[in-house]
Structure formats: structure tokens, C-alpha cells
Structure 1
Amino acid sequence: MKYSDFFVSQNDQNYFPEAACGVASLLMLLKYNRIMDNTPFDELAKDLKLNVPPKEKGYDEDDQAIGTYPEDIVRFCVLNNIKFRMSFYDDEWKDCLKSAPIMALLTGNEEEFGLRNCHWVVLVKRDKDYFTYLDPWHRKKTNEYIKHISSIDFGRYYTGIACQIIS
């Protein structure tokens, strides 16, 4: 399957595009696995409670006002009987990515991921020294959404939070 077959851009959407990287990333996993294939972006965003304040989700009031939190993804998968995995050891990434993409939460690089915000991306490949990922910030028509990050930088920016749908 080509990346363009399942890529989703948050900025090609009208529903809170500035904060919808988690929605776009989960939708990519769903499309890749052919689960809920025809789910509209805004419907998934509402199911994930994208615009519910962080305080109502159990986070601090000063956290990002709009966004997809890990618990939103867990709740969605459980409610929809979707098998998933959220824990990966360093030596498992390459083999896990052979079966399906993994959405991962990255932070700490202001240039790539914003000032204090985290950013969801979709990992699609692991080679010896780098990961290939799809960045939902970029629009589909640009092909700029296919990016690479060194394994060292990934380890530096990875929050420890990821999700893979198991089919």
C-alpha cells in the first residue's frame, strides 16, 4: 500500500485543523487497517472529544486547550472493539512496523513540533539509523508529509506514547 492511499492531513480539514494531528493520525491507522473506512474526519474528531477542555479529560487547565490525548485514543479503541497496542520496546519497532503503521507522540523540537505542544505522527518504516514517518501537518498534495528522523532524535523526542492497531 502506498502512503498516499491512507495519508490524512490535518490541514486539509475544516474541523480545528491547527490541533487535529491526533485525529488525522488515528484516521490514517484506521484507513490503513480498513477499519471504519468511511468515517468522516469531523465525526472522528468529535468521537475523540478533540475540543473538550483538558481539565475535563483529567489534565491541567493550562495544557493544550484542544487536542487528542492518549486516553481519547484508548477510549475510542475500546468502545469500538479495535485491538491495539500502546507499548513498544526499542528492539521491536522495526518488526512491528512491518505489520502496520504506528502513531507516536513526539515533543521537544520547537521547529518540528511547536513550542510546548506535542505532535502526533505516523511511523511507517524503521531502518537501522532512522524512522520514516508521515506528518499530518502537511497537505497531501505537497508530498512534504513523508519525513525522516534519526533513531537518536526519535529517542530524544518520543514521549513514550504510541498506538498501533492490531488486525
Structure 2
Amino acid sequence: MKSKFIVPVLKPESYLRKILSTPQGILYIGKYPIKDLEAHILVGDIVSNTLRGNIKIIDYKTRRHINIKPIINEPLTNLVNPRGTMSLMSRTIAKAKNYRTIIVKGEEDLVTLAYALENEETSIAYGQPDIGVVIIKSNRLKALRILKTFKPDIVVYNKV
């Protein structure tokens, strides 16, 4: 029997999800794997396996289906972050700043915002499906403007 977790989250409005799915930084176009790029924070399993960086945020999936085994750096922690949300737990882990690998149960995409709030002017890399890799410089003010549009919610999560 699976345990149920009540997870406090912030959810973007539907119009914002479409905007956030477009590249938010410099897009490096290329076929997998794109190498010779680096960023402080790497989001996604393929990006974490192929680029150089200090912090990896992974979920053992690519495009929500294909299971892959990324290279893991210690120390690591687990994070529950339901799909299409930013859990408050992600904010806490980003603030702690002492983990090199974060294994996400759910989806890692919006966890990027939690790290952007805590790491001003830090490079963050994430995959742009079927196109390449995006690298952005974190900007606390921009992240706050985006998060102000999110709505608080509670998600009952039973996939842990």
C-alpha cells in the first residue's frame, strides 16, 4: 500500500505554463548529448549526465517516461515535488545549500525557481526537449515576479 503525502505547493496559472515551456535563456541547439557546456545547477537527467556542474536535480526520467540512471554526486537528498508545481519543500532544500544531488519524486522542472531565488547570478542549465540545452543566469527579482503569479494549493501525493 502506498503512503499518501499532503504536499503544500505553488501552482502556476495555465497561461504561465505555456510561457515557461519556452526557452528562458540562451538556447544551445544540438543533438543529444550536448557536451562542453557547464552550469552551476543542472536540471534534468540527461543534462546532469552530460554537462559539468555542482548541483544536479534529477528524477530518473526523461520526458516523464524513459527511466535512466544518472551519475550521482554526494551528498544527496530526496524531494517530493508533484508535476506542474513548486513544492515548499523544494524551497527549503534550495535554501539549505548543502546537497549536490536532489532526487525528485514527481517533476523537477519548476524546482528551478526555488534555486533561482537562492542563488543570484548563478548559471542554471536545463534541457529543451528535441532542441537542445538552455542556460540561464538566475535572477531573484525575475523569479519572484513569476512566483507571485502562482497560486497556493495542497496536493495529495501517493507516488512515493
TM-score (norm. length: structure 1)? 0.31
More helix by share: 1
Which of structures 1 and 2 has the larger relative contact order (alpha carbons within 8 angstroms, sep 6+)? 2
